[in-house]
Amino acid sequence: MMAPGVARGLYSALLYLLSPLIWWRVWREHALTNKRAERLGLIADAADGPPTIWLHAASVGEVLAARPLIEALAERHADHRLVVTTMTATGAERVRALFPAERYALTHYFLPLDFPGAARRFIARLRPRLAIIVETELWPNLLAACERQHVPVVVANARLSGKAFQGYRKVAPLLRGALGAVSWLAAKSSADLERFTALGLPDACGEVVGSIKFDLPINAELRDEGERLHTLWGVRFVWVAGSTHEGEDEQVLAAHARLRRTHPQALLVLVPRHPQRFSAVAELCEARGERLARRSQDETVEAETSVLLGDTMGELMRFYAAADAAFVGGSLVPIGGHNLLEPAALGVPVLTGPHLANFQDIAETLREAKALCEIDTAEALGEALATLANDPDQRRRLGAAGEAVVATNRGALEKTLAGIAARLPADVYA
C-alpha cells in the first residue's frame, strides 16, 4: 500500500497542475471584506496576541451547525482569540451576520488553498493552540502543517456518509495520513466513527458524542417573531420549502399548485439554498403564474400572494417558526438533504424527500419517533401538504414528536466542549 507521505506528495502535485482552474474558482468565490491573499495563507501574524483557538466551518450549513459551539467557545474561553475560517463567501457572510463585531471578539479569514506552502504559512502566522474542524473538511496539507507545528486537531460533529466513505476509500493512503494528525474526533454516530476508523483514524482518537445540531438555540424571541409573521400573512396554511436546489424548485411549485386546488389561500415560503439562484427562482415562480412577493425587496404579502421568495440570508429559522409545515430541501434531488432538526426543534411538522445521505442518522431518529413525513414525488408532497392542511391535530402530533426528539438528544455540545477543553495545551492558562 502507498505510504501516506507519497500520497500527499502526489496530491500536492495534482493541486499545482490544477492551480489555474482552482484560482479562477477562488477569484469568483470572494467577499469584499476579505483579501484574496488569505487564500495563500497571507494573514496577520498572531505572535503578540492572546492564545488562539481556530475553528473551521466550510460553508453556510457548517457555520449554522457550529453556531452553538462557537457561542460557547466565545463565552468559556474569553481569554482566547477565536478565529473562524470558511471556504465560501456565503459562509463568510453567515459568520459576520451571526457573530457581529460589537458582541463577539472573533476574527474571520478564508481558509487557504491546500497547497503545502500556503498551509504552512497560514498555521505559522495564525499560531493556533487548538484547531477545530467542523464535520468533514480534512485537508491533507493543512493537517500536516498542524502536526508539524504540534497543533492539536479536533474534528467536531464529525460525519461521513456511506457515499462519501466509498469515495474516500479510493484515496485511502491520503486520508490515512490526514486522520493520523487528528487528536480527537467527536463523531455524530457509531456508523460515522466506524467509517473514519476504517479510513485510518487511530482507535483511541475517536468517540461517539452525538450531533451538536440537536443543541441548536431556540428562544422565545424566535417563536414570537414566527407568530408575528404568520399573523401578518393572514389566516391561511403556510408552508416553507427550505434550502431548495436546482431541479427541486419546480417540484416544490408543482406540489404547491396541487395543494392550492383544495386550499387556494395557501402560502408557500420558498427559500433557495444558494443566493446566486434567487433571481432565477423568482423568474421561475412568475413563469408558473404565481403571485410573488420578494422578501429582499420588502414586498407585502397580501391575500392574493401565493409565494413569498425568501431571497435573504439568515432568515430561514424565522420562516420555519412561522410555518404550519416545512419541507427540507436537498432531498427531492440527489444532494443528500439538509438540516431536518431546524423545523423539528420549533415543533413544526417536517417533510422530506428520499435523498437523505447526509442526515441518515437524524432521519432515522425522527422516523422512529414518527416525527417525519417522507415523500418521493412532487405529487406526493402536494397530497401530504393537503392532508396536513386539513388536519390540525396531525400537525400538532408531528410537531410535538419532532420537538421531543430534539429535546431528548441534546447534550452533544457539552461533551464536545469537554473534549476540546481536555486537549487545549495546559500552558495556555499559565
Q: Which residues are catalytic?
A: 62
Please tell me the distance from the alpha carbon of residue 392 to that of residue 385, in angstroms, as a whole number.
Answer: 11
CA distance 122 to 118: 6
d(CA 314, CA 310): 10
Q: What are φ and ψ of residue 262, in 5° steps? A: -105, -20
CA distance 102 to 208: 36
Query: Which amino acid is present at 158?
Result: A
Alpha-carbon span 37 to 27, nearest angstrom: 10
The H-or-E segment that residue 384 falls in is: helix 378-390
- Asked if 350 and 344 count as a contact pair (C-beta separation under 8 A), the reply is yes
Residue 252 sits at the vertex; the CA angle it makes with 224 and 312, to the nearest 5 degrees, is 45
Strand-pairing partners, residue 62, are: none
Q: Are 186 and 154 in contact (CB under 8 A)?
A: yes
Measure the CA–CA gap between 417 and 109, rounded to whole angstroms: 23
The residue whose grid cell reads 452533544 is 412
Contact assessment for residue 350 and residue 343, using Cβ atoms and an 8 Å cutoff: yes
